[in-house]
Structure 1
Amino acid sequence: MRVLLADPGPQAQLAVELFAVRIAQSIAAMATGIGGLDHVVFSGGIGHRAPGLRARIIARLGWLGLALAPCANDAGATRIDGGSGPAIWNVAIDEERELAESALAWL
């Protein structure tokens, strides 16, 4: 994803846009299944480190009341919503550690 985001070419941008659409569709499907949203959390390598991608995803979900605070999003703040509607969070996760701890629990 880092390579695609850095590539200004039309094919790379189409791939990024398709990814953002699929994530937005998944969030919308989950919101439909549970009757709404209280929070949206971005984490992991892509979610936590890609403010432009977070913005693309949330832009497609405004109808759910989601809105980003652009300055907070660009700065990598923990809470990045605009203050109204569901809260939007940007959370750092150590994925490797989580996987290792889960694997150890099975041993």
Structure 2
Amino acid sequence: MQVDEGITRAFQLLGKRWTGLVVSVLTAGPAYFTDLRRAIPGISERMLSNRLTELAAAELIVREVDEGPPLRVSYRLTAAGMALEPALKELAQWAKTHPAGERAADC
């Protein structure tokens, strides 16, 4: 048995720290950079910028510049990015049903 190529690609991108959280926040709709920073406690500006760049390169988000003044940049999911919403909801439900503390009890 071998790991599926598609799941490998998905986890190479979405398995990176913060990436899933960025996508999850954007499922609610477009957001400005500062809104994303506030919505994801602990993420640095540099890390958020890196993740947004990676997601844009993977064509999961679109970066849109709102002409100013002031100049503002917003981000929104593409159709491919929005297609991740059901999977993210399932993962969230799984995490509620199977808290990390249960793992130790099962061993």
Q: Which one has a bigger Cα radius of gyration?
A: 2
Q: TM-score, normalised by structure 1?
A: 0.31
